[in-house]
A and B are shown apart, each in its own frame.
Chain A
């Protein structure tokens, strides 16, 4: 055992300093909006993975369909792009889940991002929920401020709030 310890210490001595970084932990965020419209009506607007015209930050969408593994490429008003893949689609429960497969951290400062958009409600009341799980844009220790946990949460929150609030306005104005 003594030999192992000695060997281990030699190995530690040889490791670069970055090996001591502890990395980041996964963040999560949930945003909701209440809409004065039936869940069916809201689903008509957001239920198509191939249509994000309801989100004001999205300028263009190129994509496939509502089949699992469909990929869409969003071009944002700011010019950046985000590539996303559908990983779960449940029309009965008005819910779908997708992940980001490619994004520059300058566009959205996150890594390993997955998200679920779903609608609950009855009659003429709906609650739309947008949930995300992600790591910050810088996976190692001591991230620069623009790639911190706080920056990641703030950016995703901005995307969700911007989308949900615009969706409410659009649907309540009559779609």
Chain B
């Protein structure tokens, strides 16, 4: 990593922390411009312009891509290709693949650190989180976690990485300075996606096996609520005091009030809704519907579908896919 790169990342991190500190109300966060959608069956990455809501580019990836994350400055996209056993690094501006980093088992969930730029990749079959330095294009550390880690998320302050260890029914807490697991929290059955609130206090897991969401108090390292949702929940997005949960088998989103921790509405969406990400600035969440090959836009104020765009075949978009 270059000194210049370090500096840029620090500035970006500072900007992010200032934004995080000043926003609980939607509106002052910069609105994302694009969605990067992994198409597992089509083996590509569709880039959707959010202003026109049209696909502008489709990049061939290979290896049945699933996980997606973007650098905090939005310049790099990181894609996991489980069947190719690779982390694919894409220049988000030029749309070129920069590097393919060989991983050790079945890379799936992925998240980036807000200030160091390090990339955390959950390995479903090797039961660990790999830490990748994107500048070096190399794995610099590996952290043993529970069985079959799926989703990963980094706290806004960058101190912790959380992994949803699907087959252990636990969430691991990893200290990013030491790269060591420092805690584990039992959750519902088969946690898949994990999402952390903007204030860094809570995490939400979508539990595929028990059809519910576990709400974790991160500091207390305990589950403070378990909320029943639809069948086979996949992932959670947070926006405007609500949590939106994709239910793969129910073809719905469960909308949870994060204050009362109750489901306030269940919204019909496309078939097999999976990856979900929030744009709080414009009061939208975006949902990739795996079977229908569409990215749906949901108005979080009206709680209604506000449009859809056709993407590649089998979109999963597992991760924070907006930039």
Contact = CB atoms under 8 A, between A and B. Distances in A.
28 contacts: A1-B140, A5-B140, A8-B141, A8-B142, A11-B128, A11-B144, A12-B104, A12-B142, A20-B126, A21-B105, A22-B82, A22-B83, A22-B105, A23-B82, A23-B124, A25-B41, A26-B290, A27-B41, A28-B290, A28-B291, A87-B231, A87-B250, A88-B249, A88-B251, A97-B249, A99-B249, A116-B271, A133-B290
B179 interface: yes
Nearest to A8: B142
Interface in A111-147: 114, 116, 131, 133
Contact of A23 (B106, B127, B141, B180): B106
Contact of A87 (B66, B126, B249): B249
Interface string B93-114: 0000000000011100000000
B85 A22 contact: yes
A12 B231 CA distance: 35
A22 B106 CA distance: 5
Nearest to B40: A25
How many residues of B sit at the interface, in one of the four size bands? 20 to 34
B249 A4 contact: no
Interface hub of A7, A15, A26 (most chain B Cβ within 10 A): A26
Contacts of A133: 272, 290-291
Interface hub of B125, B144, B314 (most chain A Cβ within 10 A): B125
Interface in A73-132: 87-88, 97, 99, 114, 116, 131
A173 interface: no
Interface string A55-82: 0000000000000000000000000000
A1 B178 CA distance: 6
B40 A19 contact: no
Nearest to B293: A28
A22 B123 CA distance: 9
Contacts of A26: 40, 290, 314
- Nearest first, the 8 A-B pairs at minimum CB distance are A8-B142, A22-B106, A4-B179, A25-B64, A4-B141, A11-B144, A5-B141, A19-B126
B249 to A, nearest CB: 6
B124 A131 contact: no
A9 B142 CA distance: 8
A56 B271 CA distance: 28
Contact of B271 (A15, A87, A131): A131
Contact of B126 (A12, A25, A114): A12
Contacts of A116: 271
Contacts of B263: none
Contacts of B250: 87-88
Interface string B228-247: 00010000000000000000
Contacts of A88: 249-251
A141 to B, nearest CB: 9
B291 A131 contact: yes
B16 interface: no
A4 B141 CA distance: 6
Given A8-B141, A11-B142, 9 more contacts: A5-B141, A7-B144, A8-B128, A8-B144, A12-B104, A23-B82, A25-B40, A26-B40, A114-B249
Interface in A6-52: 7-9, 11-12, 15, 19-23, 25-28
Contacts of B104: 12, 20
B20 interface: no
Nearest to A25: B64
A28 B271 CA distance: 11
B112 to A, nearest CB: 18
B178 A4 contact: yes
Nearest to A27: B41
A23 B128 CA distance: 16
A21 B271 contact: no
B96 to A, nearest CB: 25
B198 interface: no
Contacts of A28: 41, 290-291, 314
Contacts of B66: 25
A152 B250 CA distance: 23
B72 to A, nearest CB: 21
A98 to B, nearest CB: 10
Contact of A20 (B105, B140, B179): B105
B222 interface: no
B272 A25 contact: no
Given A28-B41, A88-B251, A4 B180 contact: yes
Contacts of A131: 271, 291
